[in-house]
Amino acid sequence: MKRLRPLLIIGAPLLMLFLGSCKKNPLNNLNNDESRIYITNYDTTANFSAYSTFSITDSVTIVQDNQFAGRSHDAYDVNVIDAMTQQMTQRGYQLVNRSATPDLAINISRVYSTSTVLFSYTDYWGYYGSYYDPYYWGYPGYGYYDPYAVGAYTVNSGGLEIDLLDLKNAAANGNKLVGIWTGFARGEQVFAPANASGEVSAMFSQSAYLKK
């Protein structure tokens, strides 16, 4: 049974394409807000109430076709950082400078691609392998890795990825950054400054467990 699952995942979009050729595509009737999708996942073994403080990146990582392409700090990035900070403080976590040994680190990325991407969470929690700047968080020796998420689709305009990293137990984890929560958003106008707060709020509405 397990061997059939990859075929079902890959085959579903093909079935949708076939059915879509026979009738009107309902996705064409969605407005920009309705077109955006939100995916969240977390480490089910993590005790989120055991963390008290967090630090957040001061700029956003830009990833183009699986390659690090710099950092950004435009109006959208600022709004995402502010919205994420607000949501975390509302959940009981305290914002501190990254030099103050925070329990949690928040990394934010814009992921751009024009190809069909197959995302997998295979052995995800065993090692954090997403887009993060190891030097920013004080853990040199680890680089940028391929993306992770769920499903298979073609990304044209890109997506927003937010990762919550466990700094509190980094030493016990062999100086590896372990991801305990991730959120992903994509769709029309996903990078519009006015949409940033709503996107972060949508991720947190799916994550009631994320609180002090």
**DSSP letters spanning 13-40:** HHHHHHHHTTS--GGGG--HHHH-EEEE
Question: CA angle at residue 206 from 48 to 82, to 5 degrees?
Answer: 75
Flag whether 56 is in a domain.
yes
The answer to whether position 17 is within a domain reads no
Q: How many domains would you assign to the chain?
A: 1
For residue 212, being part of any structural domain is answered with no
Prediction pTM value: 0.70
Cα 134 from chain centroid? Answer: 17
pLDDT in tens, 160-179: 999 999 999 999 988 888 99
Report how far residue 72's alpha carbon sits from residue 100's, in angstroms, rounded to the nearest whole number.
24
pLDDT in tens, 76-113: 999 999 999 999 999 999 999 999 999 999 999 999 87
**166 within domain boundaries:** yes
**Other CB atoms within 10 Å distance of the CB of residue 7:** 9
Kindly report the number of other CB atoms within 10 A of residue 108's CB atom: 24
* Residue in this structure with the two tokens 């947190």, named with its chain if needed: 204
**Residue 105 maps to a domain:** yes
Q: Decide if 1 is inside a domain.
A: no
In a domain, 69, yes or no: yes
Average pLDDT, the chain: 77
d(CA 207, CA 195) in angstroms, rounded, equals 19
Quote the percentage of the chain above a pLDDT of 90: 51
Owning domain of residue 194: 33-205
Count CB-CB contacts under 10 A for residue 163.
23
Amino acid 170 reads: A
Give the CATH number for residue 150. 3.30.160.670
* pLDDT tens per residue across span 133-159: 555 666 655 444 444 444 555 545 689
Q: Do the domain assignments include residue 10?
A: no
More confident residue, 173 or 34: 173
